[in-house]
Amino acid sequence: MTQEENQIKAIAGKRNPYKVPEGYFEHPTFRIPSPAESGSRKKGRFHSYLIGAAAAALILLVSLPMIWWNHEQELKAQEEYELYLYSQMDESTFYDLYFTNY
């Protein structure tokens, strides 16, 4: 033992210096829920599902306009490309292409 431990033992002796308050174990600070209160757990589970569904809906609401805008841009680019190709053709090639496809 160290010198400090010996001094503490000399002052306190063999008795325990810590005491438990009266009635501490008779009235616990925590409470075990009864079976009738188990419905509150189900509410908590439903609440977490509701939060997840709201988050998914928010992500969908934010991403759908972006997807739609991207699709519109792709259609415009494709249309511009087709117009460019048609502008590079001479008239006879254009008519040949038009009548063979339709």
Reported as a single tens digit per residue, the pLDDT across 13-38 is: 777 767 777 877 776 666 666 666 55
Residue given tokens 């928010």 in the structure block: 58
Say how many domains are in the chain.
1
Could you say which DSSP state residue 1 is in? -
Side chain identity at residue 51, one-letter code: I
Per residue in 40-57, pLDDT (tens digit) is 556 677 888 899 999 999
Domain that holds residue 45: 3-101
Side chain identity at residue 71, one-letter code: H
In whole angstroms, what separates CA 10 from the centre of its chain?
59
Higher pLDDT, 102 or 49: 49
Per residue in 62-87, pLDDT (tens digit) is 999 999 999 999 999 999 998 898 88
Decide: residue 94, CB within 10 A, 0-12 exposed, 13-18 middle, 19+ buried. Answer: middle
